[in-house]
């Protein structure tokens, strides 16, 4: 602030002339103003009489310029932030420019004066997922760094917003600090900061286990009353999905986990949520086109003995998740020869229950 005061004083000394020097044009402007003021009444003079009109204008502009540069009160100059005009951050890169297949949207400045470059695009990157101190960071490997909008070759770690962090915790089931290597993510909405911590939107998690086509055993969790319960964070996913009904909530879940959600809905007779777990992708034939159709079918099957229901049979069975390919899987119920429960991915890559899933 002291520097600002010093610059203001210099501006005053330069702008304040020793004598009043008016050009003929300026004199005419003053006469016109005096004439118009006579009808309106006298007003307080804000500019000293000995200060010429030209000096006054120069004074205001000069003072404003100094204050604007030093305190950043000018948000734009020729459509761009003043602070960005002479930046060393992403030098020579203008809005709309492309960098490693990412488009620069704009530059932003936070309350501390730090700049960020905001990019739009999408990339699949691989690296290490580092969870510590309740925060999840992603450390891209060497090849993935080349796919990011970076120009200085520095190593960065990527942070995520709260919603994406919760999603990643659900996918990996993390409750304590871990490091998961060889994790692949599809990211978008990249925000590069001046420091080494950048931010991105996690669009999809590509689990390494999905490449394994062999059977994957799993168990159901039962309470003392032999009722099916969901472990965390799967129970949290169920609550969110039952409230919102959006497939986005299920993103990253395995077929066996979606299967457990389906069974739990059966256990608590939440058939609204159970209906939403089916694959409602356009073009797929639905035996129950509406929720009411499904509820009517449930009512008509109420007379089936409990021991013949799917829920009863799977509670006493050894279960395995079998992935057939990238978009289809089934749950093998080994206590029943040849009995399986089918699932498939929708167009967003999310596992959903097949219509008439019992195979």
**Lowest mean pLDDT, pick from 30-44, 82-96, 219-233:** 30-44
Indicate whether 174 pLDDT > 70.
no
Q: What is the pLDDT of residue 304?
A: 81
350: its two tokens: 């999310």
Pick 136 or 61 by higher pLDDT.
136
For the ranges 1-5, 73-77, 129-133, which has the lowest average pLDDT?
A: 73-77
* Contact of 316 with 333, CB cutoff 8 Å: no
pLDDT of residue 6: 45
Residue 28: which pLDDT band, with cuts at 50, 70 and 90? low
Instruction: Answer yes or no: is pLDDT of 53 > 70.
Output: no
CB burial of 185-216 (b: ≥16 within 10 Å; e: otherwise) equals: bbbebbbbbeeeebbbbbbbbebeeeeeeeeb
Q: Is the pLDDT of residue 229 over 80?
A: yes
Q: Where are the alpha helices (DSSP H) in the chain?
A: 2-15, 24-40, 53-71, 82-85, 142-145, 162-172, 234-244, 255-267, 271-276, 291-300, 310-315
Query: What does the pLDDT read at residue 329?
Result: 93
Query: Which pLDDT band holds residue 148 (cuts at 50, 70, 90)?
Result: very high
What are the tokens at 107? 């530059």
Task: Read off the pLDDT of residues 306-316 as tens digits, 9 standing for 90 and up.
Answer: 888 899 989 98
pLDDT at 278: 97
**Average pLDDT for 10-36:** 46
pLDDT above 70: residue 357: yes
Residues in the chain, overall count: 359
Residue 324 scores a pLDDT above 70:
yes
| Mean pLDDT of all residues belonging to the chain | 77
Whether residue 145 contacts residue 128, with contact meaning beta carbons closer than 8 Å, is answered with: no
Closest CA to 190 of 198, 180, 181, 179: 198
Is the CB of residue 130 less than 8 Å from the CB of residue 139?
Answer: yes
pLDDT tops 60 at residue 103: yes
Report the pLDDT value the prediction gives residue 306, as an integer from 0 to 100.
83
User: Does residue 178 carry a pLDDT above 80?
Assistant: no
């Amino acid at each position: 602030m002291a520097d600002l005061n010093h610059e203001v004083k210099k501006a005053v000394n330069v702008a304040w002339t020793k004598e009043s020097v008016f050009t003929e044009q300026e004199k005419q402007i003053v006469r016109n103003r005096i004439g118009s003021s006579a009808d309106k009444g006298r007003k307080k003079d804000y500019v000293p009489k000995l200060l010429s009109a030209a000096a006054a204008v120069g004074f205001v502009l000069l003072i404003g310029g100094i204050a604007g540069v030093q305190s950043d009160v000018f948000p734009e100059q020729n459509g761009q932030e003043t602070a960005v005009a002479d930046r060393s951050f992403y030098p020579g890169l203008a809005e709309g420019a492309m960098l490693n297949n990412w488009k620069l949207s704009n530059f932003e400045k936070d309350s501390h004066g730090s700049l960020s470059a905001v990019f739009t695009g999408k990339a699949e990157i691989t690296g290490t997922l580092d969870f510590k101190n309740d925060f999840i960071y992603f450390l891209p490997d060497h090849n993935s760094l080349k796919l990011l909008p970076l120009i200085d070759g520095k190593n960065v770690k990527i942070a995520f917003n709260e919603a994406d962090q919760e999603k990643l915790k659900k996918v990996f089931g993390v409750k304590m600090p871990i490091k998961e290597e060889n994790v692949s993510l599809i990211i978008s909405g990249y925000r590069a900061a001046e420091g080494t911590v950048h931010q991105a939107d996690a669009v999809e998690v590509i689990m390494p286990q999905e490449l394994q086509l062999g059977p994957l055993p799993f168990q159901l969790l039962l309470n003392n009353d032999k009722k099916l319960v969901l472990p965390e964070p799967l129970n949290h996913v169920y609550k969110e999905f039952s409230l919102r009904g959006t497939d986005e909530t299920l993103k990253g879940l395995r077929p066996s986990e979606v299967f457990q959600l389906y069974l739990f809905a059966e256990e608590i007779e939440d058939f609204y949520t159970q209906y939403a777990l089916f694959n409602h992708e356009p073009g797929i034939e639905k035996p129950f086109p509406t929720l009411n159709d499904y509820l009517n079918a449930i009512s008509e099957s109420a007379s089936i003995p409990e021991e013949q229901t799917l829920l009863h049979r799977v509670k006493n069975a050894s279960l395995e998740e079998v992935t057939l390919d990238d978009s289809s899987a089934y749950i093998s119920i080994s206590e029943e020869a040849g009995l399986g429960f089918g699932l498939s991915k929708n167009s967003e890559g999310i596992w959903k229950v097949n219509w008439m899933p019992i195979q």
